[in-house]
Structure 1
Amino acid sequence: MFPMAFCTILLGLFFAERTFAFDRSLSTAHLKLRFDPQDCTITFGESVSLSLLIDGSTITNVCVQFNIDGKEFVQVSPNVTWINANQDFSRNSTPLEVIGLRPGRFIVKPTITPENTVDERRLFVRLKVALSEPLIYISLLIGWTYTVCWCSGYYPQLLLNYRRKSVVGLSFDFLHINIIGHISYAVFNSYMYWDSYTEEEYFNRHPFGLNPVIGNDVGFAFHASIATGYTIVQCYWYENGGNSVSSTARGIIAFLVITIIVSGGAVLMGSIHWLDFLYVLSYIKLITTLVKYFPQAYINYKRQSTEGFAIMNRLLDIAGGLFGILQMVINAWNFDDWQSILGDPVKFGLGVFSILFDLVFITQHYVLYRKPKKMQTHSKVRRDTAYHVTTNQCGEI
């Protein structure tokens, strides 16, 4: 089966890459400093306790002085910490206190003197100062709400196919392109979330970055892959009216698979890092999102009907999309960070793009191709006529 074969290719590339991969060399510095925790969320005017963790030793006295991005809005105490020379440290902890004086997102990072004496790659704190604490929990609740909406959206189509014992009206192109995107997204999320090798490379490239993948993303991607895969199984199990994957969709799928294989080969040859290959998978997801809706919209237009296509999945999808945008707006206002919306136009644009297509499907179902009441009346008359004819014939017999 195609989805299983696609998964096999990805797994083969991963294990082959690990066979030839070499770990990055670590810093030669004997003293390593980092903060615990590295991510903090508080409301303005409140403080949070941090620990400066010290490992290793140094032959010179080291001064840790805090340099704050937006220092007029964040206060750190104590501002200077000295580490004495010729001492061995093993996860020694020095307490610090950070106070947020206004809403925003800040990087708390110290300056080390003398330079190049400390491994300071993870010596910073990402501090988010919120305007209102209740809005933090409201945003979290909204996040789970849109996740539930998106996950639930796969079941109306599965149930409709089961009840009809037919998939006539459902686009095979939509499903087969979609499964490519979901599996690619699941692999990307899995390694970004669980794999320390990938995460280390990501932080080497983005020292102050935050891992973009959270647990919700991993769960949704796997659930979407399984649900879409089972829908594809239904397409070959139930009546399908001779429907199949079009040559255009086959060409798109072939292009995506070849791109993945070529990128995997580049990893094995050492031309790109495994993280770059995962980025390719994320771009595959982007491409499938841009093209997957067109086949279903076209088949609805061609049949002048949405029968066989569960509109409830689009209603749940648009609800999830709107909740997602609402969460972005709430977070932007609560953290005084409107750049979080404008700074990621691809993510925001994809969300708007999906909502627009949801509106297309809703318009097709409820406006353009809905069954006229007159046709429903005529259908009822024909049924009633057939009933009377059958009754009369039985009376004559």
Structure 2
Amino acid sequence: MTRLLVECTYVFEHPKVNSGIQRVVRNVIRELPEADETVECIPVAMLDGTLYQVHSLAPLDPRPHSPLVRLRILVERAANYFWLGQRTLEKRRPFRSSPWARRLLYVACRLFAFAFLSIPLRLLDRILGKQQPAPVRATPLEHRAGDQLVLLDSSWHADFFPLAERLKSEGVGIVSVIYDLIPLTHPQFCDAGLVKVFNHWFDWIAATADGYVAISETIRDEVRAEMLRRIGPEKVAQRWFDYFHLGSELDLVEDGASVEPDLLRMFKAKAPVFLMVSTIEPRKNHGYLLDAFERAWAQGSQARLCIAGRIGWKCEALVERVRQHPELNKRLFMFNDLSDKSLEYAYSHAASLVFPSYVEGFGLPLVEAMQRLSLI
């Protein structure tokens, strides 16, 4: 019997994060078939150099986070607000007009952040990283020669490369699931750190994986072309390439959950609501969309724009533009932490989805909207 070890480390460690890839991982894990005589599918997490069988992606303990986890959340939140404040401050006098003043501000902020934010975060990560996963959620798993490790989750930020290499040396096949190559093909839309990490990760999977499964035929072809460029046709011929289609389930809709009151109030008005669902980042092109709606509003349109998505990177100016907009909570709305229940409601009641993104690996909101809206 072949065992497929389906890796879901990031979602296991971050059960509340629910963006596109995490949604895909949860849906795939939930739909894994029962074992038969030929194949057994086992969800796994790779933690601190050890392979674990995952029994539950969701936390089973209803108690609140431990004090250390709550402290880390607070410190990370403080760091985000600190750097947002620094970027806002450097746009004001005297920093706006003086490169030396901006440099001095940056150095002072870096020193402060290193001492009071970065060091505490690293210490907390080290302490929390040594904690064993809850036994009811995961138990150690012995691998076997012939197992196939499917790297389903967002593994470019992972630290399990040495473990995966050891498993491969002991007869375990490695299969990499690839969602897009945007940090390679469109680096201008990504954080510089992500571009570097992703490039290193791609070199690693090019050398390590035996096969590659993309989430669309287009991405599969892009992956093969990038492999040809990096490792040449002879080695590419030794690998295999395939793809699969994503679903559109909103997997965290809870029975009895309520829709956010502000969202309900927004949809009570008769004017149509146009919905934009995505992380707020340059690639998604929110600025262009807002420009278009401002022109429509100037001509008397009562159509409303609802932006739904968490705040990402390189978007400080856009977020500030929305928050200071005269139409905010009138014809312009922004929700940064909608539950799946609220998102389901928004899809079901919007006049249309609008999606002006520059580039996508798949464009999951399009598929989600196709199941719930007649106009996209």
Superposed pair shares fold, TM > 0.5: no
Greater RCO (Cα-Cα under 8 Å, separation 6 or more): 1
TM-score range, shorter chain: under 0.3
* Higher gyration radius (CA): 1
Q: TM-score, normalised by structure 1?
A: 0.24
Q: Higher helix share goes to which structure? A: 1
